[in-house]
Amino acid sequence: MPKASPFHERTQPLCTSYRWKTWAGYHAVASYDICHEREYNACRQGAGLIDVSPLYKYDIQGPDAAAFLSRVTVRDIRKLKVGRVVYLCWTDDRGKIMDDGTCMRLGETHYRLTAAEPSFHWLCHHAFGFEVQVIDRGHDLAALALQGPTSRDVLRQVCDADVDQLKFFGLQQAAFNGFSGHISRTGYTGDLGYEIWVDKASALVLWDELMGAGAPFNIQPAGLDALDVCRIEAGFVMAGVDYVGAHEALVESQKSSPFELGLGWTVKLEDRPPCVGHRALAAEREQGSLWALVGLEIDWNETEALYGEYGLPPSLSGNAWRSPLPVYGHGKVQVGRASSGVWSPILKKNLALATIEANYARPGTTLEIEMTVEWSRRTVAVQVVHLPFFDPPRKKALVEEREKEPAPALADDIFSTP
């Protein structure tokens, strides 16, 4: 039976739709209302508050913590500064991705790794020979994602952290009303946003403080349905949806490498000790990948015309979809699959994330995607486009930079000089 998260006493009465999902063994709200529209709009126009406590959270501590994390992930964590966070992934010996997440450096020898899938046994297996402790913090840490253009305004009201100067992928310790925690400028919506990490004993007080302070800033509790729309707009992959972890794949063809998932920029192989999968990753980078993750924009005119053939108006779900659809090249030859997609309310476009053969991945390439209307399988045109679909300047900018061009995806000062 699913467990209650540390915030369940607050989320359960607000979930008037009674729509729940199971996430990592926890009850998680799918949408508080029957429709997630208000929650999505909060994340894009106000502030959405999302319970992300079910994330797997591992504290890595000890003199060899940085060396150990550099061994098991594709990043050289030895270069990560205290007070910074980095997005990364980890692979098996053949360079196939097992999971992705974030790593934050809380102190000189103290790191925290977040994951979508359970990784404790795998981490402990590789810890042999390192002076390091791997501690599962999943049950005693509560976490909230506060996401949206007014999220910074809300945080100013409830803690002493200098959120105005907290950089993208930065981390600060913060004092709240009678308790402390950490704030990271991270999230899964592709917008301005923060994640707040506290002991579970302080969870309900934190929720009440944020909801109270956020009322003037249009705060709303948001569920996983709204988050799913946001993460597709942001071009973020999801484990178990857009890729199958190497430890869960039944056949080799289900596995993917970081390069095939658009995560090649996280792979750092030079001037460092070898990591798990190092040799395979180096070989693939040199030879090139067979597959590539791309964004697709589904042609609206063709969609409308297809439905018109059956005397119907276009009918698209407001929810994100996760059932893979074939993608075809010229001559109706299948060249890949779209793994998830959604109608974007803010962009007014029908979007999909797809894994396709690399020689079709150039932006501007026209392909076709399967679309079923009245039980008839047909196709409509799609165009390959750059990811992310949605990338507002406010996501990375400091307060005084709000109107400037966005900063690089990951600032140079995340890492110190080797």
Residue 350 banded pLDDT, cuts 50, 70, 90: very high
Q: What is the pLDDT of residue 330?
A: 87
- When pLDDT is averaged across residues 345-365 and rounded to a whole number, the result is 98
Mean pLDDT for the chain overall? 94
pLDDT above 50 for 411: no
Q: Supply the pTM of this predicted model.
A: 0.94
Report helix, strand or coil for 367.
strand
- When pLDDT is averaged across residues 189-206 and rounded to a whole number, the result is 98
- When pLDDT is averaged across residues 287-315 and rounded to a whole number, the result is 97
Helices (H), ranges, 220-290: 224-233, 278-287
For residues 157 and 148, is the Cβ–Cβ distance under 8 A?
no
Q: What is the pLDDT of residue 331?
A: 85
- When pLDDT is averaged across residues 341-353 and rounded to a whole number, the result is 98
For residues 344 and 325, is the Cβ–Cβ distance under 8 A?
no
Q: At what angle do helices 151-158 and 203-214 cross, to 10 degrees?
A: 120
Alpha-carbon distances of 73 from 79, 99, 291, 418, rounded to whole Å: 13, 10, 22, 18
Q: What confidence tens digit (pLDDT) does each residue in 10-60 have?
A: 999 999 999 999 999 999 999 999 999 999 999 999 999 999 999 999 999
Q: What confidence tens digit (pLDDT) does each residue in 129-180 have?
A: 999 999 999 999 999 999 999 999 999 999 999 999 999 999 999 999 999 9
DSSP-derived letter for residue 148 is: S
In the block, which residue shows the tokens 């709200």?
29
Q: What confidence tens digit (pLDDT) does each residue in 98-116 have?
A: 999 999 999 999 999 999 9
